[in-house]
Structure 1
Amino acid sequence: MWFFGGSTKTDGETVAVASESSENMPGSNITRDTTPAAVLPQFELPAFDASKLHPLAGLDKELEYLDLDDEKLNTIEGTGNGILPSRGWNDDLCYGTGVLYLGGLGLGGLIGLNEGFKNLPPGTKDLTTGKIKPAPFKLKLNTVLNQVTKHGPHVGNSAGTLGLLYNVFDSILDRYRGKHDDYNSLASGALAGAFFKSTSGLKAMTYSSGLMTLAAACWCGFKRAIN
Structure 2
Amino acid sequence: MAIWDSLGGLPSSPKSPFPIPLSCIPLAGLNQDTLDYLSLEDTALDELPGSRSVLPSRGWSDDLCYGAGTTYLAGLTIGGAWGLAEGLNKTPVTAPPKIRLNGVLNSITRRGPFLGNSAGVIAMVYNGFNSAIGYARGKHDATNSIVAGALSGMIFKSTRGIKPMMISGGIVASVAGAWAVTRKALF
Partner of 2:105: 145
Q: RMSD of aligned C-alpha atoms?
A: 2.6
The one-character-per-residue Cα deviations of 1:105-154 (angstroms, maximum 9, x if unpaired) are 000000000000111147xxxxxxxxxxx422111111111100000000
Structure 2 unaligned spans of 5+: 1-12
Which secondary structure state, in structure 1, belongs to the residue aligned with residue 64 of structure 2? helix
Q: TM-score, normalised by structure 1?
A: 0.66
Distance 1:135 1:39 in 2: 62
Distance 1:179 1:136 in 2: 59
Structure 1 unaligned spans of 5+: 1-37, 44-49, 123-133
The count of residues paired between Structure 1 and Structure 2 equals: 165
- Asked whether 1:89 is paired with 2:70, we answer no
Partner of 1:22: none
- Asked whether 1:178 is paired with 2:138, we answer yes
Which amino acid in structure 2 is aligned with residue 157 of structure 1?
N
Partner of 2:170: 210
2:119 aligned residue (159, 170, 180): 159
Which secondary structure state, in structure 2, belongs to the residue aligned with residue 77 of structure 1? coil
Mapped contact 1:121–1:139 kept (Cα < 8 A): no
Structure whose alpha-carbon radius of gyration is higher: 1
Distance 1:171 1:206 in 2: 22
Alignment of 1:92-103 (within 5 A): 92-103=63-74
Distance 1:120 1:94 in 2: 38
Between the two proteins, what is the percent identity of the paired residues? 44
Alignment CA distance shift 1:161-1:144 (3 Å): same
Partner of 1:119: 90
Which amino acid in structure 1 is aligned with residue 65 of structure 2?
C
Structure 1 residue 39, shift from structure 2 partner: 5.0
Distance 1:167 1:210 in 2: 17
Structure 1 residue 64, shift from structure 2 partner: 9.1
